Structure 1
Amino acid sequence: MTGPIYAIGDVHGQLEELHRVLALIEADGGTDAQVVFVGDYVDRGPDSRGVVQFLLDARVAGRNWIMLKGNHDRYLTRFLDHSIVHDPATRADLSWFNPRLGGDKTMASYGVPAEEETPLGEIHAAAIQAVPQSHRDFLNERPLMHITDDLVFVHAGIRPKVSLEDQIEDDLIWIRQPFLDYRKPHDRLVVHGHTALDHPVHAGNRVNLDGGAGYFRPLHAAVFEGTECWLLSANGRIPLRP
């Protein structure tokens, strides 16, 4: 069995919470601990720009971190690259700038007003100037999956009964059903976020670490040894079991 591996749920612009859970990880596993982030660094929270810059700096510094791509990260890059503010996976009447999705908060963190009634071209032109190319490249280059002997880390989940090599991006960053209701074992325990809960849950064949930081609930970090899982707290490890 390999050494412990740590994971952090959806960050959603909550830089202070990110610092808090990283301190918990360092206290448990040291400064060289391997950490997997399950994506969604931006939207809803107050400091998406700060989160992206912090993660980019950490990558440049050579931290042992694997940072996956989430659907909200793709919202930002698609808007910058192609002026797209809608995704087929969500309701047609919900623009990325709608507060429910939180793109307005991401743009605000870069100093760009993004009310839904503002002309799209005006927002896009300002965003192109405001968002550093390094941020765009960082988010565009994020991998979709990380696989170990016992675990598979993704943002949203996997399509059941489809091999890992045949999974598609839209499922890996957007899927809810049939993944959430699937009860049979996968080839590996799936560690994911995306579906916000009040608290992380171990469902037997998957672990959902999204405790709702995007809705101003606490961000969560977990540690895995094999398939055993614990949440990290100021008082140490707390077992997370089915």
Structure 2
Amino acid sequence: MSELRDEHRLVICIGDIHGYYSKLKNLWRNLKFQTNPSQFKKALIIFLGDYCDKGPDTNKVIDFLIDLPSKYPNQKHVFLLGNHDFGFSAFLGLLPPPCDGSEFKEGWKEIGVCNEENEGWYCGEGYENMHFHGRRWAGMKLNKEGTGTQYKGSVYNAAPTFESYQVPHGSAELRKVVPDDHKKFIANLVWVHEEDNVWIESAEGQKKCKLIAVHAGFQQNKPVEMQLKLLKSKDTSKQWLKCIQDKDSVWDMPEELKEQSTIVVSGHHGKLHIDELRLIIDEGGGRQNKPLAAIILPSMKIVRDTDFSDGNQI
């Protein structure tokens, strides 16, 4: 493996945290311990989205992330929006209005009344013009015997997020008790990030690439530029944002990006998958018994919260 050149900035991509504050602290400690201190202090850190739900400490996770720029002023931090964060944001009323001038409630029909009933969409205070993902996020999905699936409140498993702010699942009080700095953080999450001059280790040695980070990936059958435009504009007129919320259709690398030597890095999929320049870093998938993972570029080294390190805490 070739030596890391001084001018090659470390790029660290961190998978879906899902409310697991203890995992995040341990992973950060291990990243500090397993990298050169001077390079870590200047690293580009890309968080791949999904900070909330499933795990118990969404509020502590967001506090941790908000504090990073002041604790590490020479690092660059990128916080992507995940599909769970989209639902959280929709419930809090933080999404920008649709670009086409429509109202959020006009999209409910597109999804269908059957889904509304089956998923137990939220119908409480403030639902009247809420994006349907906000209603799904705060809804109540009943657990059915024999299915093997146990929901924590909604299909998003959002109950732990409500509880981390000391309110019961589905309570409209959440919008009042989430601190303003948390709301600002959530509202400012980016939907896609592009970075030039990222180095990556390959069979031929280190090579310079463009990197695009997006929570789920890009569709094969649509021009990438069109998808980037939608993401950059934060267009909420679309009811289903496949680059953020889909799975199978965005798993692979679009051919046009393969030809351009572009790294596409995502979380979302509940797997660790490395296929040349297509990187999926979500080994934990929000499961309590699975690790939180990160990848370091250019070395392609995987670091987990479960790695044993003697380094100090943040």
TM-score (norm 2): 0.63
Letter of the 2:157 counterpart: G
* Number of residues of Structure 1 aligned to a counterpart in Structure 2: 223
Would the alpha carbon gap of residues 2 and 163 (structure 1) be closer, same or farther in structure 2, given more than 3 Å must change?
A: farther
Corresponding residue of 2:65:
55
1:145 equivalent in structure 2: 192
- CA separation in 2, counterparts of 1:148 and 1:181? 20
- Displacement of 1:130 in angstroms is 1.1
1:87-102 maps to which residues of 2 (within 5 A)?
92=116, 93-94=118-119, 95-97=136-138, 98=141, 99=152, 100-102=155-157
Q: Secondary structure at the match of 2:248?
A: coil
Gap regions ≥5 residues in structure 2: 1-6, 96-103, 120-135, 142-151, 197-208, 232-240, 310-314
- Give distance in 2, aligned partners of 1:144 and 1:183: 18
Cα distance change of structure 1 residues 222 and 205 upon mapping to structure 2, 3 Å threshold:
closer
User: CA separation of 1:164/1:34 partners in 2, compared to 1, >3 Å: closer, same or farther?
Assistant: same
Q: Percent identity?
A: 26
Give the whole-Å Cα distance in 1 for the aligned partners of 2:60 and 2:15.
17
2:28 to 22, 25, 33: 22
Whole-angstrom CA distance in 2 between matches of 1:64 and 1:205: 22
> Per-residue displacement from partner, 1:110-152 (whole Å, max 9, x unpaired)?
011015xxxxxxx11x112211121111111111222223221
1:212 Cα offset (Å) = 2.2
RMSD: 2.9
Match of 2:56 among 27, 38, 46: 46
The 5 A counterparts of 1:119-198 are 123-124=171-172, 126-149=173-196, 150=209, 151-160=211-220, 162-164=223-225, 166-167=227-228, 168-169=230-231, 170-181=241-252, 184=255, 185=258, 187=260, 188-197=262-271
Letter in 1 for 2:77: W
2:167 is the alignment partner of 1:112? yes
> Larger radius of gyration, structure 1 or 2?
2
> Structure 1 residues 82 and 147 mapped into 2: Cα distance closer, same or farther (>3 Å)?
closer
**Aligned partner of 1:212: which letter?**
G
Aligned residue in 1 for 2:296? 223
| Deviation larger for 178-187 or 70-79 | 178-187
Shift of 1:109: 0.3
Q: Give ranges in structure 1 of 5+ residues lacking alignment.
A: 116-122, 237-242
Going from structure 1 to structure 2, the CA distance change for 1:164 and 1:18 (only over 3 Å counts) comes to farther
Alpha-carbon distance in structure 1 between the residues aligned to 2:253 and 2:213? 17
Contact 1:159–1:175 (Cα < 8 Å) also in 2? no
Distance 1:8 1:29, change over 3 A: farther
Rounded to whole Å, the distance in 2 between the matches of 1:165 and 1:76 is: 26
User: For residues 285 and 247 of structure 2, what CA distance do their matches in structure 1 show?
Assistant: 18
TM-score, scaled to structure 1 = 0.80
Distance 1:165 1:134, change over 3 A: farther
Give the aligned residue type for 2:246. Answer: I
Q: In the alignment, which residue of structure 1 is the partner of 2:88?
A: 76
**CA distance 1:74–1:60, change in 2 (3 Å):** farther
